[in-house]
């Protein structure tokens, strides 16, 4: 017993439109950061339109049922391609996305043979699905979470459907679409088509959510003004570095940096100017450190730098380099201020005997910073 083909078509239309509406509602009203959601929803609408036109076979002209129906299917895949590229913040020339659609339209308009049409269309749609897999795989390592595997799984099933149809046509099997005829081939194909649709859409939505969650974690660890680690995050990093230094018996040093005369700068030029100075200092610190070093903003105009595998002498060399880099900042060009900026720096090396934890180490660095300020 096979599934009733018109019912399968109706299910495809209903599921496609329901998923499209669901995806579209995930986009906040007025938001510019849409992650390709609206494009994905439009692709689902085109998928639903495909089955509407397929279902009208025999009731409307072949132009609408065959040409427009298959064009909508190819255009739907193009929309999904565009949506994935937007999600990945990549750009392709429009022709790379739409050439398969144009090719499908030209073939459907020119070729009269149903067999050649089905064979060529199966190849085009299969290649579009393969392109989608390639797009996802190219960013597999930088796409967080597991949603990407649902997308890949759905696409592999879709490729299997297109390949089986091409092979079936090449072997002479009847692959024509008929609303009045139910068969095992149509039942399996349309059922798997719904599975593909659900896998792709759920996977894409999960991908966007997982990336948003990961971004929120990063933002929770960052100082909003300077984009360095915030106080909580840099203390957590310090705890990890202290544990590693104890365990591996490796040196660890910290630097405390304080912007000189920052209150006077704020009073003279305003707090907005002070914020620009802090951002520039943070950027200079970040650019002047090694890959393994960690920088954070303690609050106000104070910064903490963690220097793993560094002795006190090495920390002093790094502190002097940072101090000089900050002193050399062209404030007029970089901060729009007719002034100069400088920092005082205190350094301390972790001593497993004297320092029970990070507080004691930071206290020593703070005392060194106080002495540096007294020396001017």
61: helix, coil or strand? Answer: coil
What is the reported pLDDT for 33? 57
What is the reported pLDDT for 285? 93
306 contacts 261 by C-beta, under 8 angstroms: no
For residue 27, give both structure tokens.
Answer: 């986009």
- Residues 6 or more apart in contact with residue 205 via CB below 8 angstroms: 23, 26, 147
For residue 60, give both structure tokens.
Answer: 């409307």
302: helix, coil or strand? Answer: strand
Max Cα-Cα span within the chain: 93
The number of beta carbons lying within 10 Å of the beta carbon of residue 56 is: 16
Nearest to 358 by CA among 181, 197, 238: 238
Dist. CA 367–CA 365, nearest whole Å: 5
Along the 376 residues of the chain, how does pLDDT read in single tens digits?
A: 577 778 888 999 999 999 999 999 987 665 555 678 999 999 999 999 999 998 887 788 878 788 899 999 999 999 999 999 999 988 899 999 999 999 999 998 888 887 888 889 999 999 999 999 999 999 998 888 899 999 999 999 999 999 988 888 778 765 555 555 667 777 888 889 999 999 999 999 999 999 888 878 777 888 889 989 999 999 999 999 999 999 999 999 999 999 998 888 888 889 898 899 999 999 999 999 988 999 999 988 999 999 999 999 999 999 999 999 999 988 878 888 888 888 999 999 998 878 877 888 989 999 998 888 877 6
User: pTM, whole model, 2 decimals?
Assistant: 0.71
Tell me, rounded to whole angstroms, the distance of Cα 64 from its chain centroid: 38
Dist. CA 192–CA 125, nearest whole Å: 15
66: helix, coil or strand? Answer: helix
Helix (H) or strand (E) run with residue 132 in it: helix 114-138
Residue 99 to residues 74, 75, 102: CA-CA distances in angstroms?
10, 10, 5
Dist. CA 349–CA 67, nearest whole Å: 74
What is the reported pLDDT for 175? 53
What is the reported pLDDT for 31? 55
Q: Give the β-pairing of 302-308 and 252-259.
A: antiparallel
What is the reported pLDDT for 345? 94
Angle at which helix 271-287 crosses helix 262-269, to 10 degrees, equals: 130
234 contacts 304 by C-beta, under 8 angstroms: yes
């Amino acid at each position: 017993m096979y599934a009733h083909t018109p019912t399968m078509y109706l299910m495809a239309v209903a599921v496609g439109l329901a998923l499209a509406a669901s995806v579209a509602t995930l986009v906040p009203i007025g938001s510019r950061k849409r992650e390709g959601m609206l494009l994905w929803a439009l692709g689902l609408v085109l998928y639903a339109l495909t089955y509407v036109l397929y279902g009208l076979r025999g009731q409307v002209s072949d132009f609408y049922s065959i040409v427009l129906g298959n064009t909508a299917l190819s255009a739907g895949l193009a929309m999904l391609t565009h949506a994935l590229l937007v999600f990945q913040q990549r750009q392709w020339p429009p022709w790379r996305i739409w050439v398969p659609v144009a090719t499908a339209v030209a073939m459907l308009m020119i070729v009269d043979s149903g067999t050649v049409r089905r064979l060529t269309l199966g190849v085009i749609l299969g290649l579009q699905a393969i392109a989608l897999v390639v797009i996802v795989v190219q960013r597999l390592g930088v796409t967080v979470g597991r949603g990407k595997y649902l997308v890949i799984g759905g696409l592999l099933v879709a490729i299997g459907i297109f390949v089986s149809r091409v092979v079936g046509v090449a072997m002479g099997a009847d692959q024509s679409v008929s609303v009045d005829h139910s068969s095992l081939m149509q039942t399996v194909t349309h059922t798997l088509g719904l599975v593909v649709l659900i896998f792709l859409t759920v996977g894409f939505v999960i991908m966007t959510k997982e990336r948003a969650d990961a971004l929120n974690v990063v933002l929770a660890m960052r100082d909003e003004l300077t984009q360095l680690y915030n106080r909580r995050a840099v203390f957590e990093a310090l705890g990890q570095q202290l544990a590693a230094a104890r365990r591996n018996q490796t040196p660890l040093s910290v630097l405390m940096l304080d912007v000189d005369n920052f209150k006077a700068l704020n009073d003279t030029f305003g707090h907005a100017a002070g914020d620009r100075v802090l951002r520039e200092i943070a950027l200079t610190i970040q650019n002047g450190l090694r890959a393994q070093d960690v920088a954070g903003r303690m609050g106000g105009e104070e910064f903490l730098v963690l220097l793993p595998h560094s002795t006190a002498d090495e920390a002093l060399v790094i502190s002097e380099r940072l101090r000089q880099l900050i002193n050399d900042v062209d404030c007029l060009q970089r901060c729009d201020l007719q002034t100069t900026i400088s920092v005082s720096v205190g350094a301390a090396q972790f001593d497993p005997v004297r320092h029970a934890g990070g507080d004691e180490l930071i206290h020593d660095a703070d005392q060194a910073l106080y002495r540096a300020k007294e020396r001017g």
